[in-house]
Amino acid sequence: MSRTSKLNKVIAGVLVAVATVAAAGCGDLEPHGVPVPAKDSPSRALGVCPPFPLRDETGNVIDPVNGVNDSVPYSPRQTCGASGCHDYGKITEGYHFTQGKGEQVPAAMAERYAWVTSPGNYGGNWCSPAPLYRQLAAKKNQSARAIDMTSFDFVTATCGNCHPGGGPLELDRDGKRYDAWMRDPASGFVAGGENGLDGDYYKARRSRGSACSWSWVSPHRPTG
């Protein structure tokens, strides 16, 4: 069994547990498995998601229990952001996901840290201790000597360990999904190439699905 298949089975198991809690707290189940309030129960908000299938990047259902489409990774955007569920775009606009991307640097911070381009980890006073600060490269550069930490480096230089995905881990500074744009012949980019000295793609290897969608697993994992 592949690593992806095993991961999908683990995720499916978590979803089954969530669905069980939902069923236990929300009354009877319709034949198709969607929980509905019992007739004599008061109206209340549903505290957890109802049963739902995992979906891959193209929206196809993943069924690891029956071995259907279980060799591909699940997509949080397609799974949690499906029609009628969570507003994926709205959620990933939060600071927890953008980490300062596109925000103005406060005057006091700019005075103290002259190289920062945002108030958050992405382009700001990065999470490494002084004097090991790194500067996020500009989107457009005239020389490779001006490039320190690219958006790709931001992920690989340990920040990706705790970032929940979305924001600068999923979309470049033009709003394009990294891996999709790098595979697009119109970009002219190649894995590991200089790629026009673009601060998001210089020396990056993003064509193999290295864009990180927001995942509900990361924000809800234990921190203690």
- Residue-wise pLDDT for 91-118, tens only, equals 888 888 888 888 899 999 888 888 888 8
What secondary structure, in 3-state letters, does 44-84 show?
Answer: CCCCCCCCCCEECCCCCEEECCCCECCCCCCCHHHHHCCCC
192 and 120 within one domain: yes
Number of domains in the chain: 2
114 and 77 within one domain: no
How many Å from the N-terminal Cα to the C-terminal Cα in the chain? Answer: 31
- Domain closes at, from 86, 117, 134: 86
User: pLDDT tens across 58-79, in order?
Assistant: 889 999 889 999 888 888 888 8
**Which residue, chain included where needed, has tokens 């004097």?**
131
159 and 134 within one domain: yes
Domain hosting 43: range is: 3-86
Long-range contacts of 72-76 (CB under 8 A, 24+ apart): 72/4, 73/4, 73/7, 73/8, 73/209, 74/8, 74/11, 75/213, 76/165, 76/213, 76/214, 76/215, 76/216
171 pairs with which residues across the strands?
177
Report the predicted TM-score, pTM, of the whole model to 2 decimal places.
Answer: 0.65
192 and 100 within one domain: yes
132 and 173 within one domain: yes
Do the domain assignments include residue 67?
Answer: yes
